[in-house]
Amino acid sequence: MSEIDYATANNPFAGRVICGACGSTFGRKVWNSTDERLRRVVWRCNKKYEVKGKKGCGNKHIDDKILYQAFINTFNVIIENKAYFMEKWKAESQSGNLLRRYKADEFIKMIADGEPIKEFDIDIYFKIIEKMIVFEGNKIIVTLLEGTEVEVVIE
């Protein structure tokens, strides 16, 4: 792979977007155009084009705007269900293993005074998102770093 596949501030999804059809990672592709307004960034399965003679993965690509929106929706779902999550994390910070306790405390601190967001927030993103599993139809299962999975469908 020639592409950098670790996440950075400029490329927050690298290595974190997983194909729901075959389980491999998605890679970033820039669709260029002479017209800058038509430039698009998409993510698609790295197994889309398999070795000769074998069929590649049939999962569709996804626009990076959808991934940004999936994060925003996920965060807002947590905020809307704050009472539920707080109770869960408080229980985990008492009884889970060391890592889960640590994560639960982190999430409690972050979400306690949280408000819904309208725009992507890179700091929160890196603190709460483990991975995003992409299925057809813009359905994404977002896994949080403390283990919760949130299903998001972007219209």
Q: Which stretch binds Zn ion (CB under 5 A): 9-17, 49-57, 98-106, 124-132?
A: 49-57
Question: Sign (positive/negative) of CA torsion 106, 108, 112, 115?
Answer: positive
Q: Provide the minimum distance between the beta carbon of 59 and Zn ion in the complex, in angstroms, as a whole number.
A: 4
Q: Provide the minimum distance between the beta carbon of 5 and Zn ion in the complex, in angstroms, as a whole number.
A: 15
Considering the rule CB under 5 A, would residue 19 count as an interface residue with Zn ion? yes
Distance CA 133, CA 142 (A): 6
Among 7, 22, 41, 79, binds Zn ion (CB under 5 A): 22
Considering the rule CB under 5 A, would residue 44 count as an interface residue with Zn ion? no
Q: Which stretch binds Zn ion (CB under 5 A): 35-43, 53-61, 69-77, 130-138?
A: 53-61
Q: Provide the minimum distance between the beta carbon of 77 and Zn ion in the complex, in angstroms, as a whole number.
A: 26
Considering the rule CB under 5 A, would residue 57 count as an interface residue with Zn ion? yes
Alpha helices in 9-139 (DSSP H): 64-80, 82-95, 98-111, 122-128
Describe the crossing of helices 82-95 and 98-111 by its angle, rounded to 10 degrees.
Answer: 150
Considering the rule CB under 5 A, would residue 47 count as an interface residue with Zn ion? yes
Instruction: Encode 68-93: b = buried (16+ Cβ within 10 Å), e = exposed.
Output: bbbbbbbbebbeeeeeebbebbeebb
Question: How many whole angstroms from its chain centre is CA 155?
Answer: 17
Among 13, 42, 44, 59, binds Zn ion (CB under 5 A): 59
Residues that bind Zn ion (CB under 5 A): 19, 21-22, 45, 47, 57, 59
